[in-house]
Amino acid sequence: MIDLHSHILPGVDDGAATMEDALAMARAASQEGIRTIVATPHHQNGKYTNERTEIIDAVRELNVVLKDNHIELDVLPGQENRIYGELIEDFRNGEILPLNESKYLFVELPSNRIPRFTNQLFYDIQVEGLQPIIVHPERNQEIMKHPERLYELVKNGALTQVTATSVAGRFGKKIQKLSEDLIEANLTHIVASDAHSMEGRGFAMREAYDRIEQEFGNQMVYLFQENAELIIENSQVMIEPPQKVKQKKFLGLF
Protein backbone atom coordinates (compact mmCIF):
# COMPACT_ATOMS: atom_id res chain seq x y z
CA MET A 1 0.00 0.00 0.00
CA ILE A 2 1.18 3.53 -0.82
CA ASP A 3 0.36 6.56 1.33
CA LEU A 4 0.96 9.85 -0.50
CA HIS A 5 0.33 12.28 2.37
CA SER A 6 1.96 12.21 5.81
CA HIS A 7 3.67 14.39 8.37
CA ILE A 8 6.18 11.78 9.45
CA LEU A 9 9.35 13.91 9.23
CA PRO A 10 10.40 14.76 12.79
CA GLY A 11 10.51 18.31 14.09
CA VAL A 12 9.54 20.18 10.94
CA ASP A 13 5.82 20.94 11.38
CA ASP A 14 2.80 19.84 13.43
CA GLY A 15 3.45 16.15 12.73
CA ALA A 16 6.04 13.94 14.39
CA ALA A 17 7.85 16.02 17.00
CA THR A 18 10.87 13.76 17.49
CA MET A 19 12.63 10.89 15.74
CA GLU A 20 11.01 8.52 18.24
CA ASP A 21 7.61 9.84 17.17
CA ALA A 22 8.56 9.30 13.54
CA LEU A 23 9.62 5.73 14.29
CA ALA A 24 6.32 5.07 16.08
CA MET A 25 4.43 6.37 13.05
CA ALA A 26 6.58 4.27 10.73
CA ARG A 27 5.88 1.11 12.73
CA ALA A 28 2.14 1.86 12.69
CA ALA A 29 2.23 2.50 8.94
CA SER A 30 4.04 -0.79 8.36
CA GLN A 31 1.52 -2.68 10.50
CA GLU A 32 -1.27 -1.05 8.47
CA GLY A 33 0.22 -2.55 5.30
CA ILE A 34 1.83 0.64 4.02
CA ARG A 35 5.15 -0.04 2.33
CA THR A 36 5.79 3.36 0.73
CA ILE A 37 4.94 6.70 2.28
CA VAL A 38 5.48 10.24 1.03
CA ALA A 39 6.59 12.78 3.63
CA THR A 40 4.68 15.99 2.88
CA PRO A 41 5.49 18.66 5.49
CA HIS A 42 3.60 21.94 5.43
CA HIS A 43 5.07 24.77 3.39
CA GLN A 44 4.03 28.45 3.45
CA ASN A 45 0.91 27.86 5.54
CA GLY A 46 1.59 30.90 7.71
CA LYS A 47 3.42 28.88 10.34
CA TYR A 48 5.84 26.45 8.67
CA THR A 49 8.35 26.76 5.86
CA ASN A 50 9.93 23.58 4.50
CA GLU A 51 11.81 24.03 1.26
CA ARG A 52 12.74 21.36 -1.26
CA THR A 53 16.38 20.70 -0.32
CA GLU A 54 15.61 20.61 3.42
CA ILE A 55 12.90 17.99 2.88
CA ILE A 56 15.09 15.81 0.67
CA ASP A 57 17.87 15.84 3.30
CA ALA A 58 15.43 15.02 6.11
CA VAL A 59 13.89 12.14 4.12
CA ARG A 60 17.34 10.69 3.42
CA GLU A 61 18.17 10.80 7.14
CA LEU A 62 14.86 9.21 8.14
CA ASN A 63 15.30 6.35 5.68
CA VAL A 64 18.71 5.58 7.21
CA VAL A 65 17.20 5.48 10.71
CA LEU A 66 14.32 3.26 9.52
CA LYS A 67 16.79 0.80 8.02
CA ASP A 68 18.87 0.79 11.21
CA ASN A 69 15.70 -0.04 13.16
CA HIS A 70 14.64 -2.78 10.70
CA ILE A 71 11.41 -1.05 9.74
CA GLU A 72 10.34 -1.97 6.21
CA LEU A 73 9.06 1.38 5.03
CA ASP A 74 10.33 3.50 2.16
CA VAL A 75 9.91 7.26 2.66
CA LEU A 76 9.76 9.51 -0.41
CA PRO A 77 9.98 13.33 -0.49
CA GLY A 78 7.02 15.63 -1.02
CA GLN A 79 5.50 18.85 0.25
CA GLU A 80 2.07 20.21 1.20
CA ASN A 81 1.88 23.74 -0.19
CA ARG A 82 -0.68 26.23 1.06
CA ILE A 83 -1.53 28.13 -2.12
CA TYR A 84 0.04 31.57 -2.41
CA GLY A 85 0.72 34.01 -5.20
CA GLU A 86 4.47 33.37 -5.54
CA LEU A 87 4.23 29.60 -5.78
CA ILE A 88 5.28 29.39 -9.44
CA GLU A 89 8.18 31.76 -8.87
CA ASP A 90 9.35 29.69 -5.91
CA PHE A 91 9.04 26.49 -7.96
CA ARG A 92 11.34 27.99 -10.57
CA ASN A 93 13.74 28.97 -7.78
CA GLY A 94 13.92 25.38 -6.55
CA GLU A 95 11.95 25.79 -3.30
CA ILE A 96 8.86 23.77 -4.26
CA LEU A 97 8.85 19.97 -4.23
CA PRO A 98 6.25 17.93 -6.12
CA LEU A 99 5.51 14.39 -4.89
CA ASN A 100 8.65 12.27 -5.33
CA GLU A 101 9.91 14.99 -7.68
CA SER A 102 7.19 14.11 -10.21
CA LYS A 103 4.82 16.49 -11.99
CA TYR A 104 2.20 16.06 -9.24
CA LEU A 105 2.05 18.93 -6.74
CA PHE A 106 0.09 18.94 -3.47
CA VAL A 107 -1.78 22.20 -2.92
CA GLU A 108 -3.77 23.10 0.19
CA LEU A 109 -6.67 25.54 0.25
CA PRO A 110 -7.41 27.62 3.35
CA SER A 111 -9.85 25.71 5.54
CA ASN A 112 -12.67 28.22 5.20
CA ARG A 113 -12.62 29.37 1.54
CA ILE A 114 -11.34 29.10 -2.00
CA PRO A 115 -9.23 32.22 -2.72
CA ARG A 116 -10.17 34.28 -5.78
CA PHE A 117 -6.82 33.66 -7.46
CA THR A 118 -7.16 29.85 -7.27
CA ASN A 119 -8.35 29.32 -10.86
CA GLN A 120 -5.55 31.45 -12.30
CA LEU A 121 -2.92 29.84 -10.09
CA PHE A 122 -4.04 26.33 -11.06
CA TYR A 123 -3.90 27.35 -14.71
CA ASP A 124 -0.38 28.69 -14.23
CA ILE A 125 0.66 25.50 -12.40
CA GLN A 126 -0.49 23.41 -15.35
CA VAL A 127 1.21 25.70 -17.87
CA GLU A 128 4.40 25.06 -15.88
CA GLY A 129 3.96 21.35 -16.63
CA LEU A 130 2.70 20.40 -13.16
CA GLN A 131 -0.58 18.82 -12.05
CA PRO A 132 -2.17 20.33 -8.93
CA ILE A 133 -3.66 17.90 -6.40
CA ILE A 134 -6.01 19.56 -3.90
CA VAL A 135 -5.57 17.92 -0.50
CA HIS A 136 -8.54 17.18 1.79
CA PRO A 137 -11.18 19.21 -0.14
CA GLU A 138 -13.88 17.54 1.97
CA ARG A 139 -12.75 19.65 4.94
CA ASN A 140 -12.93 23.01 3.15
CA GLN A 141 -15.94 24.98 4.39
CA GLU A 142 -16.72 26.60 1.05
CA ILE A 143 -16.66 23.24 -0.73
CA MET A 144 -18.88 21.77 1.98
CA LYS A 145 -21.50 24.40 1.18
CA HIS A 146 -20.89 24.60 -2.57
CA PRO A 147 -19.38 21.33 -3.90
CA GLU A 148 -19.97 22.57 -7.46
CA ARG A 149 -16.94 24.84 -6.97
CA LEU A 150 -14.74 21.79 -6.62
CA TYR A 151 -16.35 20.38 -9.76
CA GLU A 152 -15.20 23.45 -11.69
CA LEU A 153 -11.62 23.06 -10.46
CA VAL A 154 -11.54 19.35 -11.34
CA LYS A 155 -13.15 19.98 -14.72
CA ASN A 156 -10.31 22.43 -15.42
CA GLY A 157 -7.60 19.87 -14.67
CA ALA A 158 -7.07 19.68 -10.91
CA LEU A 159 -6.93 16.36 -9.07
CA THR A 160 -7.99 15.89 -5.46
CA GLN A 161 -7.08 13.70 -2.49
CA VAL A 162 -9.53 12.80 0.26
CA THR A 163 -8.32 11.86 3.71
CA ALA A 164 -8.61 8.29 4.97
CA THR A 165 -9.88 9.41 8.38
CA SER A 166 -12.62 11.45 6.65
CA VAL A 167 -13.79 8.39 4.72
CA ALA A 168 -13.63 6.32 7.89
CA GLY A 169 -15.94 8.79 9.68
CA ARG A 170 -13.47 10.04 12.26
CA PHE A 171 -14.20 13.70 11.42
CA GLY A 172 -17.94 13.11 11.75
CA LYS A 173 -20.80 11.95 9.55
CA LYS A 174 -21.06 15.19 7.57
CA ILE A 175 -17.48 15.07 6.32
CA GLN A 176 -17.76 11.32 5.72
CA LYS A 177 -20.88 11.88 3.62
CA LEU A 178 -19.23 14.63 1.56
CA SER A 179 -16.18 12.39 1.01
CA GLU A 180 -18.45 9.67 -0.34
CA ASP A 181 -20.32 12.19 -2.51
CA LEU A 182 -17.00 13.29 -4.02
CA ILE A 183 -16.03 9.67 -4.70
CA GLU A 184 -19.41 8.96 -6.32
CA ALA A 185 -19.12 12.06 -8.55
CA ASN A 186 -15.53 11.26 -9.66
CA LEU A 187 -14.33 14.41 -7.93
CA THR A 188 -11.51 12.73 -6.08
CA HIS A 189 -8.70 10.55 -7.34
CA ILE A 190 -6.58 9.48 -4.35
CA VAL A 191 -7.01 8.41 -0.74
CA ALA A 192 -4.17 9.22 1.67
CA SER A 193 -3.77 9.37 5.44
CA ASP A 194 -2.54 12.91 6.20
CA ALA A 195 -1.26 11.22 9.36
CA HIS A 196 0.24 13.57 11.94
CA SER A 197 0.84 11.49 15.06
CA MET A 198 -0.12 8.34 16.92
CA GLU A 199 -1.96 10.31 19.62
CA GLY A 200 -4.13 12.32 17.27
CA ARG A 201 -4.53 11.79 13.53
CA GLY A 202 -3.31 8.33 12.55
CA PHE A 203 -3.42 6.41 9.28
CA ALA A 204 -6.80 4.62 8.94
CA MET A 205 -5.94 3.61 5.37
CA ARG A 206 -7.17 0.04 5.67
CA GLU A 207 -10.36 1.23 7.37
CA ALA A 208 -10.97 3.77 4.60
CA TYR A 209 -10.44 1.25 1.82
CA ASP A 210 -12.79 -1.18 3.57
CA ARG A 211 -15.45 1.52 3.65
CA ILE A 212 -14.89 2.36 -0.04
CA GLU A 213 -15.14 -1.30 -1.01
CA GLN A 214 -18.37 -1.62 0.97
CA GLU A 215 -19.96 1.47 -0.60
CA PHE A 216 -18.49 1.49 -4.13
CA GLY A 217 -16.94 -1.91 -4.80
CA ASN A 218 -13.44 -3.27 -5.17
CA GLN A 219 -12.90 -1.52 -8.53
CA MET A 220 -12.90 1.88 -6.82
CA VAL A 221 -10.32 0.66 -4.29
CA TYR A 222 -8.16 -0.53 -7.17
CA LEU A 223 -8.51 2.85 -8.92
CA PHE A 224 -7.28 4.79 -5.89
CA GLN A 225 -4.43 2.39 -5.14
CA GLU A 226 -3.33 2.33 -8.76
CA ASN A 227 -3.39 6.15 -8.95
CA ALA A 228 -1.12 6.40 -5.91
CA GLU A 229 1.40 4.14 -7.64
CA LEU A 230 1.12 6.03 -10.92
CA ILE A 231 1.79 9.33 -9.16
CA ILE A 232 5.04 8.26 -7.52
CA GLU A 233 6.09 6.77 -10.88
CA ASN A 234 5.27 10.11 -12.57
CA SER A 235 2.82 8.36 -14.91
CA GLN A 236 -0.62 9.51 -16.00
CA VAL A 237 -3.33 8.81 -13.43
CA MET A 238 -6.64 7.18 -14.27
CA ILE A 239 -9.43 9.76 -14.39
CA GLU A 240 -13.18 9.30 -14.78
CA PRO A 241 -15.28 12.22 -16.12
CA PRO A 242 -16.19 14.51 -13.19
CA GLN A 243 -19.83 15.08 -12.32
CA LYS A 244 -21.59 17.54 -10.09
CA VAL A 245 -22.54 16.28 -6.65
CA LYS A 246 -26.15 15.20 -6.81
CA GLN A 247 -28.64 17.07 -4.70
CA LYS A 248 -30.52 14.65 -2.49
CA LYS A 249 -34.26 14.81 -2.02
CA PHE A 250 -35.61 15.04 1.52
CA LEU A 251 -39.32 14.31 1.98
CA GLY A 252 -39.81 14.86 -1.74
CA LEU A 253 -38.16 18.31 -1.72
CA PHE A 254 -34.71 19.52 -2.75
For the stretch 4-55, pLDDT in tens is 999 999 999 999 999 999 999 999 999 999 999 999 999 999 899 999 999 9
Confidence of residue 254 (pLDDT cuts 50, 70, 90): very low
DSSP state at residue 46: S
Contact call for residues 9 and 196 (beta carbons, < 8 A): no
Tell me the three state secondary structure of residue 119.
helix
Which band of pLDDT confidence, cut at 50, 70 and 90, is reported for residue 119? very high
Q: Sorting pLDDT into bands at 50, 70 and 90, what band is 247?
A: low
Task: Output the pLDDT for position 204.
Answer: 95
Can you count the helices (H) and strands (E) in the chain? 10, 9
Give the per-residue pLDDT at 199: 80
pLDDT in tens, 63-105: 999 999 999 999 999 999 999 999 999 999 999 999 999 999 9
pTM surpassing 0.75? yes
CATH annotation of 2-232: 3.20.20.140
Contacts for 220 with CB less than 8 Å, ≥ 6 apart: 183, 212, 213
Q: How far apart are CA 151 and CA 187, in angstroms?
A: 7
